[in-house]
A and B are shown apart, each in its own frame.
Chain A
Amino acid sequence: MTRNRKITLAAVAIALYLIGVPWLCAGRNYYLGVVTTASGLAVICAGVWLIFYIGRINIGQGAFALIGGYAAAIAVTKWGLSFWIAMPFAGLASMLVGMLIGLPLLRLKGVYFSMITLSLTETARLAAQSLKAVTNGPNGILNIPLPGELSIFGVTVIPDFATLNKHRALFYLGAVLLVVTYAVIHRVVNSRLGWLFRSLQQNEDLASSFGVNVPMLRVIAFAICTFFAGVGGAFFVVMQQSIYPATFAVQDSTYFLLYCFIGGLGFVFGPLVGTFILYMGFEVLQGFKEYQPLLYALLMIGVMLWLPNGLLSIRLPKFLPPKTPSRPASGGDI
């Protein structure tokens, strides 16, 4: 496909999404809400995917979404900031924490990194519960207002959400975030940075010997990842107009892995596809709602047993980077 055709195709897909979904869901706010939630989840998922891309497993994305969510909630309710400032602030706050924690922790390889990120999710929840002065403890922060008007030099760019159809306005906010996120990820992966990230995934030592600044690149990847988590968290906060310590739990962090995996790890839009298929699939199966964790778990185990490279990997093997066998023959002395 030539570059122009790709751009046209993307533009058509985006236009169809922006016009088609609200048209299909007209008068059915519940379904519009489902699509909106899926797009928010896909934004957070993009970060998890990028960390997969440099060869690590981040099971702590829930923690960063929670940090972003609280940052936005506090900025809006306590400091009285506009949501349009609070959302990037949430992304930056989450990114800052991510970089601070990431600097030491990204040195840890494989299993160690995954263990510490998993612990991080639970720690974030406990922190939100115990730091009552900042987070209002287990009661959470409630009654977070909808985004207000955004105007530049007196010209209204985005009208106050309260004057609009709330569901439709949130859908468009989610859609814009989704498009921007995946455009950024696509750009990153198809740039020089993307080549460097792929070199990390394949062999960090070899990359380092060629003069690649491995620690720096890991932190860059983690910063992008946690920024998306923060923005996604802020989006959920304004959508649900509340946040609790349990808004993002370990289970959510595990789901993000599954979404990425179902979509395929070698493909930029994998997490997007995975999130939409899985999340919306479950809305279709209304009756099974209470068995959602069970079915997700079975799906996850089944995928690992029978389809270890994700759904899209069946059709698009050329997008998959070569796999390096990394399992050492020995486990060590005990």
Chain B
Amino acid sequence: MGQVLMNGIYSGVQYSLIALGLTLIFSLMNVMNFAHGQLYVLGGFVTYYVYGIVGLPFAVALFAAAATLAAVGVLFDVLLFRRVLARSARDESTMLLASGSALLLDSLFIIFFGEKHRGVPPVAGGVLRIGQGIFLPYGRALIIALSVILIAAFILFMTYTRWGRGLRAMAQDRDAARLMGVNVARYSMLGWAIAALLAGLAGAMLVSVSGVNSGLGTWISIKAFIMVMIGGAGAIPGAIIGGLVLGMLESLGAHFMSGSQYLAIFVALIVFLAIRPRGLLGRQ
């Protein structure tokens, strides 16, 4: 049982990272980024090449993934979403645009990386033993530690820095933020960069444990949606709670009802949404 909980925490903290980015974009732009899982996969592939093929240290690979994804996030904003948001007042347009981008990235992955599942050598060998019968490989422990540090850094950034304050102001009221001197265009770029970077780092870390393949993106996006729906869209604590809850549910489900756990999670989600349509902490 301890092992099941440990696995839940391990998936949960990574999921939280993914959900944070998705919820950040949603609260800033009112855009649900259907291509979020694909950004995660891209982070995985960058790490695969830098760490697995070229053989540079894992830390360098993480930086490379973060930098690449931040750039992709900025491109998403400048080339696609900003233009559509400026012209169309309906949120349908950005949803369709996001689905199109997801399809685009998916097909580019297939063309450039093929369908093979790719893994890299483990970052850290050995297993940590906690108490009785709970095993935590050092690779996973590293990921948990890194994820917690990243989540903490993100919260501190949003709470105490000038940029974080600007982003929060923009999420509360875009027009008022603009009137108070927040450069809204530049801050949306920053928001996209951070969101893509978080997804990319989560992908980069996971590749060291379970590898990456081209078809993973949609599945990750769907998990991210489930987390955001549990926690409530647009709320940062909600994203973290949603991530941990999904990680735990998955781990428990795999233990008790192996095979059909996702069906059970989905049915539970529908019942949950019938009672709380805005999730645990979503805005009304």
Whether A and B are associated in the same complex: the answer reads yes
The answer to whether A323 and B266 have CB atoms under 8 Å apart is no
Query: With A115-B228, A294-B111 as given contacts, are A331 and B91 in contact (CB-CB < 8 Å)?
Result: no
Chain B positions within 8 Å of A325 at CB level: 89-90
The answer to whether B100 and A297 have CB atoms under 8 Å apart is yes
* A96 in the interface (beta carbon within 8 A): no
The answer to whether A331 and B107 have CB atoms under 8 Å apart is no
Chain A positions within 8 Å of B34 at CB level: 118
Could you tell me the distance between the alpha carbons of A324 and B88 in the complex, rounded to whole angstroms?
10
* A282 in the interface (beta carbon within 8 A): no
User: Interface residues of B: mostly helix, strand, loop or mixed?
Assistant: helix
Query: With A111-B26, A114-B95 as given contacts, are A332 and B101 in contact (CB-CB < 8 Å)?
Result: no
Interface centre among B29, B100, B226, B236 (most CB of A within 10 A): B100
Query: With A105-B273, A123-B263, A325-B89 as given contacts, are A111 and B95 in contact (CB-CB < 8 Å)?
Result: yes
The answer to whether B260 and A293 have CB atoms under 8 Å apart is no
Could you tell me the distance between the alpha carbons of A198 and B89 in the complex, rounded to whole angstroms?
18
* B255 in the interface (beta carbon within 8 A): no
* B83 in the interface (beta carbon within 8 A): yes
Interface residues of B (CB under 8 A from A): 23-24, 26-30, 32, 34, 80, 83-85, 87-93, 95-97, 99-104, 106-108, 110-111, 158, 167-168, 170-175, 218-219, 221-222, 225-226, 228-229, 233-236, 259-260, 262-263, 266, 269-271, 273-274, 277, 283
Interface residues of A (CB under 8 A from B): 52, 57, 59, 101, 103-105, 107-108, 110-112, 114-116, 118-120, 122-123, 126-127, 130-131, 250-251, 254, 257-258, 261, 291, 293-294, 296-298, 300-301, 304-305, 308, 323-334
A–B pairs, 28, beta carbons within 8 Å:
A101-B270, A105-B270, A108-B273, A111-B26, A114-B32, A114-B95, A115-B32, A115-B225, A115-B228, A119-B222, A122-B222, A127-B263, A250-B218, A257-B96, A291-B107, A293-B103, A294-B104, A296-B103, A300-B100, A300-B103, A304-B96, A326-B89, A329-B173, A331-B172, A332-B171, A332-B283, A333-B283, A334-B171
